[in-house]
Amino acid sequence: MRDAQPRTVYLKDYRKPDYLVDSTRLRFELEPNSTVVTSSLEIRRNPAAGEGLPPLRLDGVNLELVSVGIDGVALGVDEYTCHDEGLIIPVHRGAFTLEICNRIDPEGNTSLEGLYLSNGMYCTQCEAEGFRKITYYPDRPDVMSKFTTTIVAPRDYPVLLSNGNEIARGEIEGDRHFVTWEDPFAKPAYLFALVAGRLEKVEDQFTTMSGRKVTLQIFTEPKNIGKCEHAMHSLKAAMRWDEEVYGREYDLDIFMIVAVDHFNMGAMENKGLNIFNSACVLASPETATDAAFQRIESIVAHEYFHNWSGNRVTCRDWFQLSLKEGFTVFRDAEFSADMNSRAVKRIEDVSMLRTTQFAEDAGPMSHPVRPDSYMEISNFYTLTVYEKGAEVVRMIHTLLGEEGFRRGSDLYFERHDGCAVTCEDFVAAMEDANGVDLKQFRRWYSQAGTPLLEISDDYDSAGERYTLSVRQSCPATPGQPEKKPFHIPLKLGLLAGDGSELALDTDGTRETVLEITEAEQAFVFEGIPERPLPSLLRGFSAPVRVRYDYTPAQLRLLMRADSDAFNRWDAGQRLAFRALAQLQQDFRAGVELQLQPELMEAYRSILQQEDLDPALVAEMLTLPSAQTLAEEAEVIDAEAIIAARNFAEQNLAEALFEDLLETFRRLDHDKPYRPLADDIAERRLKNTALAYLCVTEKEEALQLADTQFASATNMTDSAAALAALVNRGDDQRAQAALQSFYERWKEDDQVVELWLAVQSSSPKRGSLEAVRALMAHPAFELTNPNRVRSVIGAFSNRNFLQFHQPDGSGFRFLAEQVIALDKLNPQIAARLVTPITRWKKYCQGQQEMMHAALQSVMDSGQLSADLYEVVSKSLK
C-alpha cells in the first residue's frame, strides 16, 4: 500500500543500470514469521553506463533491514539511506562486495509475491518485481547475475529446492539441515526461485539431442503424487518438440516442477525450477476434464519453452514483456496444434482473442503490445501482451514462411544468448536473417487498438478480372488519437460457385497472402473465369476485424466447402452473429422473436457432415457466447443479448432434437479414457449434444444426463453431465447431483474448484444469493486465488445473466469483493475488477450502475497501486 498516488514509469526514461552484479550468494534461514535472508553481492560499476561513481540504489519492499556491510566492514546507520522502497548506498570503489542481512515474514505475506507460505510449503514468486520483497537488490531484468543459494530449514522440511544444480547438503545442529544450489547461468532476479516443504516427487529422464541425460522431477504434496503423469508426459513432448522445431536443447542436468495451491497466475518459468499453480499441472482421468488436460499440456510446454525464449534470452525492461510472452505463447500454440487438432486449437485461441483481447483493446486499459508507460507492471500481464503479442509473432511467421522464420529465430538466439534485449532486437533478427524490411510492421508493437478491414470487390466478367479493395482503419485508444496504417498479412482463397477453389494465377496457386500496407489498396486477380466468393483472413492471419458483405447463401457455401477449416467455422459464426443481432433488435423493438431459418438449416447440415472432425462440429454448433456478443455489440444491452441467445439456443435445441439425440447416441460408448485428440473430439461433440438436448428440459434428455452422471468414469463426462443438470431441469435433481458430487470429491482441490465454478457460472443456479452462500461454504477461501476465480470470477465473467441483473446488484457485489481483496492480494483485486471497468460500452441504465460501483471502489480508501491504476484509468 502506498502513501501518495503511484508514479508512472515510462519506456522513454529507460537508462542502463549503473551497477552490475557478477555474483549473488543468498542464505535463507526459514521461519514462518521471521525468515533471515543474508546476501553477498559482487558488484561492479557498469562501464556502459557512464562516468563516476553514483550512489548504488537497491529495491526493497516490506523488508526489515538488519545490517549492511561493504568488503567485510559493517556500515553505520548514517552511512546509507533506507526508505520505503529501498536502500541508497554511497559508493567509493568501482568494484566491491556488498553484504546485507534482512528479515521477512512469509506467513504474513498474502500477496503471493516474494517468499510466502502455501499450505505449509515455502515458495517464491519473483516476476515481475517480487524479488525486492525478499532482499535489497537491483530488481530489474537487465541486471543478470550468477546465483548460489543456501536454504536452511528444520528437518521436517525435507525438500529444499532452488535454481540450478545441488552442490552441497548437510545437517546443522538443533534439528536443522541445509542444501546449497548453484545456477551456472547468469539470470535476472525475477527468475530466482526457492521451495521448501514436505513434498513427494515423480522422476523421469530425458536424453537431449546431443545425448545428455537430464533428470526430470515433479514435486507435489503427498496426496497429489498420482496426478503428475500427464505433466511429465507433456514435458518430455515439449522438450523433444523444441529440439525438432527450433533446434533448442535443454541446458542444465535437472529440470524441476513444483505444484503450489496458492498462486496468482498459471505458472512461472524460474530457471530449472518451474513453479505451477496446482490447477495447471495436476490431472488424472477421474479428476480432470479434457480441457484441463489440454491446458496442462500447453502450460507445461509454455514454461519449458521460456528456458530459451525468456531465460537464455531475456527482457531488457518490463516494457519488452511481449518479447518473451508473445513469442512463447506462439511457440506453445504451435506445439499444441502439432499435438492435437490444429484447426480446433486455432478456433479456440481466436475465439478467446476476439472476445477478451478485442474487448481489452477497445476498453480503458487498452495498450500496445509494447506498452510505453505503466504504474504497476503486474497490470500488464494482459491478453494484449500475451495473445495479441503471439499473433504479432505469428504474422512474422506468415510473412517469412516456416524456413525464413526459423532462420530468424536461430539468429535471434545466437545473437542474444545471455543478454537482456528488446522487441526491436527480435524484429531486427527476423529482418537480418531474411533480408526483408519490417519497418512498417513494427507499428504492431507501438500502436494499440484492433484494426478494421473493410473489404469490397468487383468482378469484370468480360476481362475475367477480379478486384478486391481493402480499406484499413484503427479506432483511437487512450493516448493514441490517430493511427498510421499497419502492415497486415491477409491470407485468402477464392471459391467458385460449386465450392471448388479457383486458381489465383497461371501457376495454379490456390491460396495467397496479400500484404496490406496502405490505408486504401486494391488487388487485381486476372484470369478468374467466374465471379468468385472470397475466403478472407484464412486461419485468422492477422488480429483484425474484417467487414465484407456476405449473403447468407455465401456464408453457407463457405461453411460447407472452404478448404480452410478455420474459415468454415468463422462463416458459421458470422451467420449466427447476424441472426442474433436481428433477434436483439426485435427484442428491443418488442417484436415477436423468430429464428432465421437459414441458421437452423445451416446447423442441421453441420450435424449431418460425418466427414468433419467431431471437435470442429462441436465448435460449429456452439453459438457465440454472451460475452462474445457483448464484444461485437455497438452498445451492450445485456437483457437483449440474453433474450436473443436463449431464444436461439432453445429453438435450435427443439428443432434439432432428433439429430442431436442421434449424435449423442452414436458417440455414447464407454471407452477407456485417453487424453488424445480423437477421443477428446468425440467427447466434446457428445457433451455439446447433451447440453443442447437438456436445453429443452425434456425428461428424456435430463435422464440421459442423469445416467451419464451416475456412470461416468472420467471427469469430462461427469462434469458435463453435472453442468447439464445444474443448468437445466428442476431443483431437486440439480441439488442431488451437486451434493453427491461434492461428497465424492470434497478432498480433491481441483474438483472442488470445478464444483464451485459450475454453480457460480450457472444462469439458473448461480444467483447472487447462491454465490454468497458458496462464499460461506468451507471450501471457499478469500486468500486462495483459485477459489476466488472459481466463485467471484466465474460469476462476473461467465454468468452473464446473473451478473447483469437489472438492479445492479451484481456490480455492487463485485465492487465489494474487490475492495476486500485489495487488502490481501492487490494483483488479484486489480484483475477481478475488469468487468465493471467496461461501463462505457453499456446502455444507459447499466452504465450508471456500473460506474457507481467502480466509483465506490475508488472512494473506499487507500487502494493498492495495482487497483488504483486500473480503477483511475477506467473512471476517466
Active site members: 303
Instruction: Tell me: cis bond preceding 689? Omega within 30 of 0 counts.
Output: no
Among 142, 183, 261, 269, binds ligand PHE (CB under 6 A): 269
As measured in angstroms, the least distance from the Cβ of 189 to ligand PHE is: 13
Please, which residue, 221 or 332, has the CB nearer to ligand PHE? 332
Would you count residue 265 as binding ligand PHE (CB under 6 A)? Answer: yes
Q: Site map for ligand PHE, 688-707, x if CB under 6 A?
A: --------------------
As measured in angstroms, the least distance from the Cβ of 536 to Zn ion is: 31
As measured in angstroms, the least distance from the Cβ of 269 to ligand PHE is: 5
CA angle 84, 87, 89 (to 5 degrees): 155
Q: Please, how many CA atoms are within 13 Å of residue 414, restricted to the half-sphere of its CB?
A: 12
Would you count residue 302 as binding ligand PHE (CB under 6 A)? Answer: yes
By a kind-dependent CB cut-off of 5 to 8 A, residue 381 interacts, out of Zn ion, ligand PHE, none, with: ligand PHE
Please, which residue, 382 or 472, has the CB nearer to ligand PHE? 382
Helix extents (H) in 516-635:
552-561, 565-589, 597-608, 614-621, 626-632
By a kind-dependent CB cut-off of 5 to 8 A, residue 640 interacts, out of Zn ion, ligand PHE, none, with: none
159 strand-pairing partners: 197
As measured in angstroms, the least distance from the Cβ of 125 to ligand PHE is: 6
Counting beta carbons within 10 angstroms of the beta carbon of residue 103, is it exposed (0 to 12), middle (13 to 18) or buried (19 or more)?
A: middle
By a kind-dependent CB cut-off of 5 to 8 A, residue 642 interacts, out of ligand PHE, Zn ion, none, with: none
Would you count residue 127 as binding ligand PHE (CB under 6 A)? Answer: yes
* Footprint on residues 310-349 left by ligand PHE (CB under 6 A): 325
As measured in angstroms, the least distance from the Cβ of 393 to Zn ion is: 13
The cell numbers describing 203, all together, are: 522422476
Distances (CA, A) of 729 to 593, 722, 735: 24, 12, 11
By a kind-dependent CB cut-off of 5 to 8 A, residue 125 interacts, out of ligand PHE, Zn ion, none, with: ligand PHE
Closest CA to 276 of 230, 324, 215, 322: 230
Please, which residue, 264 or 328, has the CB nearer to Zn ion? 328
By a kind-dependent CB cut-off of 5 to 8 A, residue 127 interacts, out of Zn ion, ligand PHE, none, with: ligand PHE
Q: Which residues, in sequence order, are CB contacts of 315 under 8 Å at separation 6+?
A: 141, 321, 323, 324, 420, 421, 422
Q: Which residues, in sequence order, are CB contacts of 378 under 8 Å at separation 6+?
A: 128, 129, 826, 827, 830, 866
* Footprint on residues 227-256 left by Zn ion (CB under 5 A): none
DSSP state of 145: B
45, 22 Cβ separation under 8 angstroms: no
CA angle 566, 569, 570 (to 5 degrees): 85
The cell numbers describing 665, all together, are: 447416441
Amino acid present at 608 = Q
Among 381, 486, 540, 664, binds ligand PHE (CB under 6 A): 381
829, 865 Cβ separation under 8 angstroms: no
Element (H, E) at 489: strand 488-495
Instruction: Using the structure block, give the residue that is written with the C-alpha cell 493516448.
Output: 479
Specify the stretch interacting with ligand PHE by CB under 6 A; choose among 120-128, 152-160, 609-617, 737-745: 120-128
The cell numbers describing 326, all together, are: 508473445
Amino acid present at 299 = I
* Footprint on residues 527-586 left by ligand PHE (CB under 6 A): none
Would you count residue 303 as binding ligand PHE (CB under 6 A)? Answer: yes
Q: Site map for Zn ion, 324-353, x if CB under 5 A?
A: -x--x-------------------------
Q: Which residue is nearest to ligand PHE (CB)?
A: 265
709, 755 Cβ separation under 8 angstroms: no
Please, which residue, 328 or 355, has the CB nearer to Zn ion? 328
Would you count residue 268 as binding ligand PHE (CB under 6 A)? Answer: yes
Please, which residue, 231 or 607, has the CB nearer to Zn ion? 231
As measured in angstroms, the least distance from the Cβ of 730 to Zn ion is: 45
User: Interface residues with Zn ion (CB under 5 A)?
Assistant: 325, 328
Residues that bind ligand PHE (CB under 6 A): 125, 127-128, 264-265, 267-269, 302-303, 306, 325, 381
